[in-house]
Amino acid sequence: MRAVIIEQPGNVALGTRSVPTLVDGAVLIRVRTVGFCGSDLNTFRGLNPLVSYPRVPGHEIAGVVEEVGEGVPREISTGAHVTVIPYTACGQCSACRRGRINTCRNNQTLGVQRDGALTERITLPWQSLLQGEGLDRRELALVEPLAVGFHAVARGRVAEGDVVAVIGTGAVGLGAVAGAVRARGTVIAVDVDDDKLTMARRAGATHVVNSRSGSLHDRLQELTRGDGPDVVIEAVGLPETFLAAVAEVAVAGRVVYIGYAKAPVSFDTTQFVRKELDILGARNATADDFRAVLTLLRGKGFPVADAVTRVVRMDEAADALRGWDADPAAVTRIHVDLD
């Protein structure tokens, strides 16, 4: 069967892989659509330390159940449209023992530590599937990045009355916007791209701030009557946005980092103490986060068509990844349709 393979950093092409065999407790999925994630781009660029090569990328998945192994519950039947929780949990490590399975020490995300979904068929344990009835392939392939944003909202304990600034409105940041709105926060979306800020409004942001065309500090102070936001969610991964989150958050506020910083960041740690901040990391997402996103999408409460910048066929996927590498800002999501 065909597969998109990143052979080495900078080298991606259409190749072949053998069809996986179905084992007990597993399901054979015919992959319909895969979204390219920033982590796939980093794999292509050789910037993802968790990846070895060659690697089939892809973990944002819409698929159809084609065959069901022994011991799989009846609710999962052939022909069902599904999305996938692309992580694993060992059940043994300290994080798993504490119930924090989304950050399992031995996690293997599809397309990162193991081959991913940009291939015609994959097999997965039935527990990794989520039923997607009523949702189309565009929606199903967006569930994972939005769920990562929802997870950050859960980590930040966003509740009614909170003012939440979300810095960075790519797919994950848009998930954080929608998740914070769902948690009854008032959202200020921050980006350097007006088109992305328009999407953030459609995802429910009350205010938008283009930090390139004015002072982020002044705008946030104005919008919060001098307090700063109760929660700041950082979804960019640049040193300056890591620092802005701590500088702008209110006293006794919460900072949640989802962005993966590509370089070390130096902090003035007196702010942590003086403001008595909760500084939190958010990694991957839980099954509850995925289910909450499915509910959001079923309510048609998210601008799916805007977030999918481009749709390509499998034989165009390698070119699309190279194009994204050349002009990363222009893309929220590229979807690869396999059928």
Least distance CB 289 / Zn ion (angstroms): 13
Query: Does 104 contact Zn ion by CB under 5 A?
Result: yes
From the CA atom positions of the chain, what is the Rg in Å? Answer: 20
Amino acid making up residue 176: A
113 burial (CB, 10 Å; 0-12 / 13-18 / 19+) is: middle
- For Zn ion, which is the closer residue by CB, 37 or 220? 37
Q: How far is the CB of 88 from Zn ion (least distance, A)?
A: 8
Q: Is the peptide bond before 145 cis (omega within 30 degrees of 0)?
A: no
Nearer to Zn ion, 145 or 204 (CB): 145
CA dihedral 196, 199, 205, 211 (to 10 degrees): 10
What's the rounded Cα separation, in Å, for the pair 66 and 30? 6
Of 102-110, 123-131, 160-168, 226-234, the window that binds Zn ion (rule: CB under 5 A) is: 102-110
Q: What part of residues 26-45 is at the interface with Zn ion (CB under 5 A)?
A: 37
**Residue 307 in the binding site for Zn ion (CB under 5 A):** no
CB of 141 to Zn ion, least distance (A): 10
Please say which residue, 104 or 233, places its beta carbon nearer to Zn ion.
104
Tell me the C-alpha distance between 165 and 181, whole Å: 11
Binding track over 185-224 against Zn ion, x by CB under 5 A:
----------------------------------------
Give the span between the Cα atoms of 51 and 111, in whole angstroms: 8
Q: Residues touching Zn ion: how many (CB under 5 A)? A: 6
93 near Zn ion, judged by CB under 5 A: yes
Q: Count CA within 13 A, CB hemisphere, residue 25.
A: 3
Minimum CB distance to Zn ion smaller for 108 or for 198? 108
Segment contacting Zn ion by CB under 5 A, of 93-101, 132-140, 294-302, 314-322: 93-101
Quote the least distance from Cβ 110 to Zn ion, whole Å. Answer: 10
State the Cα–Cα distance between residues 60 and 21, nearest whole angstrom: 22
**Of residues 93 and 238, the one with the C-beta less far from Zn ion:** 93
CA dist., res. 166 & res. 258, Å (int): 11
Give the per-residue contact string, 40-79, with Zn ion (x = CB under 5 A; - = no).
----------------------------------------
The closest alpha carbon to 91, from 72, 106, 73, belongs to: 106
Please say whether the beta carbons of 28 and 22 come within 8 A: yes
Distance CA 128, CA 88 (A): 8
Stretch that binds Zn ion, among 63-71, 103-111, 197-205, 284-292 (CB under 5 A): 103-111
Out of 90, 265, 279, 311, the residue judged to bind Zn ion by CB under 5 A:
90
**Which span (9-17, 68-76, 82-90, 155-163) binds Zn ion, by CB under 5 A?**
82-90
Rounded distance between C-alpha atoms, residue 40 and residue 58, angstroms:
7
φ, ψ dihedrals at 292, nearest 5°: -65, -35
Q: Is 112 in the site for Zn ion (CB under 5 A)?
A: no
Instruction: Classify each residue of 184-195 as buried b or exposed e, where b means 16 or more C-beta atoms within 10 Å of its C-beta.
Output: ebbbbbbbebee
Contact characters 141-170, Zn ion, x per CB under 5 A: ----x-------------------------
Q: Given the rule CB under 5 A, which residues bind Zn ion? A: 37, 90, 93, 96, 104, 145
